[in-house]
Structure 1
Amino acid sequence: MTVTVLGSWTVTSTSIDHPDAVAVLRAYMADVIGSYGLAEPTDEVVDAHMAEDTSDDLAPPTGLLVVARHDGKVAGCGGLRFVSSEIAEVKRMFVRSSHRRLGGGSAVLIALERHARACGISRLRLDTRHDLVASHALYRCHGFAEVPAFSSGPYTERWFGKELN
């Protein structure tokens, strides 16, 4: 399913092994590695982190992945991991730095919500880092509210949820 959600943004559900998905997931991982100063995000370092923290759960039947394009160029992604028949977690929310502040995060969230509703999901949740203030504002703008912790991990410091109507 392709959903054009905001102007020049198009968001498409995509197989996790599609070349566009692989490229944007690599960019996501390189961004995470670089932002934490874990290492220089070389191809080898990115490969190692992707092998350790796979996106396999974003493929049917356990989830889905969307790729966002801005004016036809791959610029971001997001995923849903189905926790139950009613709950899905938003994962791998990412927009390339060159495309930020152009509405891509909103485009991805809107598409993920549409996919979740189509799958019968009634609640979305996500975890994030404490320092991603712009992301927190994006989530709040789309109706997410802070909720009690439901997960743990080295970069899991804030939790958000949203009931879908």
Structure 2
Amino acid sequence: MTATDAQGPAAATRHALPDGRPLRWERTDWDEARAASLRAAMDAEIGPRYAALRGDSPRPAPPTREDVAVVLLAVVDGEVAATGTLRRLPERWEVKRLFIGANHRRSGLASAVLARLEDEARERDAAELFLQTGNRQPEAIALYERQGWHRVEVFAPYDPADGISVCFRKELNVALPVAGGQAL
């Protein structure tokens, strides 16, 4: 599907960044090349922070095409600038792989991607959302705390004994049903 197919997973909507530059949101598939490229850039940047801590211990399995409900791309000035994923696990909805390309940081995109993923979860009737980050990502931890996320105990599939995972939860204000034009 293409970004102009409004009915499919690559549906696009347009907005603007605070500085006025046009921002286009696209929903796409997990395997889409531009999303995969940003995730690879994330791995290249973040992976070395944890190499000494992880040693040979296995990492949790990454999301799969089957458990991913939404992959968002933020396109700025024709360039894919950011991505984020909403994953459905049997017991929870989880934000995964939120990453802003180096040339697009400090523009409000991280907060915007996170807010869009929260909206996507609400549309799926999620009452709460979870995420995991690492203790060597202070910029991510600060973002989540600024956006009203609260730390929780490390949850599966992450290992509380590895000393790396920092987990968060956010309660979502799910829209109430509307009757006769009035919110209940």
- Place the TM-score, normalised by the shorter chain, in its bin: 0.7 to 0.9
1:31-70 CA-to-partner distances (Å, cap 9, x unmatched) read 23344357xxxxxxxxxxxxx95442xx356432111222
8 Å CA contact 1:89–1:126 kept in 2: the answer is: yes
Alignment TM-score, normalising by the size of structure 2: 0.69
1:146 aligns with 2:151: yes
Deviation at 1:155, TM superposition (A): 7.4
Q: Percent same amino acid among aligned pairs?
A: 30
Gaps of 5+ in 1: 39-51
Name the amino acid aligned to 1:78. Answer: G
1:157 aligns with 2:156: no
Name the amino acid aligned to 2:166. Answer: R
1:29 is matched with which residue?
43
Which residue, out of 75, 83, 89, partners 1:83? 89
Flag the 1:162–1:88 CA change in 2: closer, same or farther, 3 A. Answer: same
1:2 is matched with which residue?
12
8 Å CA contact 2:50–2:136 kept in 1: the answer is: no
Name the amino acid aligned to 2:153. Answer: P
- Map 1:23-62 to 2 at 5 A: 23-37=37-51, 53-56=61-64, 59=65, 62=68
User: How many residue pairs get matched?
Assistant: 150
Flag the 1:27–1:131 CA change in 2: closer, same or farther, 3 A. Answer: same
Gaps of 5+ in 2: 1-10, 53-59, 174-184
For the pair shown, the structure with the greater C-alpha radius of gyration is 2
Flag the 1:53–1:61 CA change in 2: closer, same or farther, 3 A. Answer: closer
8 Å CA contact 1:124–1:163 kept in 2: the answer is: yes
| Distance (Å, rounded) in 1 between the aligned partners of 2:24 and 2:114 | 12
1:104 is matched with which residue?
109
2:31 is matched with which residue?
17
Q: What is the aligned-residue RMSD (CA, Å)?
A: 2.6
1:125 is matched with which residue?
130
| Distance (Å, rounded) in 1 between the aligned partners of 2:98 and 2:70 | 12
1:66 is matched with which residue?
72
- State the SS of the aligned residue for 2:47: helix
Alignment TM-score, normalising by the size of structure 1: 0.76
Name the amino acid aligned to 1:108. Answer: V
Does 1 or 2 have the higher relative contact order (CA < 8 Å, sep 6+)?
1
Flag the 1:36–1:77 CA change in 2: closer, same or farther, 3 A. Answer: same
8 Å CA contact 2:63–2:87 kept in 1: the answer is: no
Deviation at 1:22, TM superposition (A): 2.1
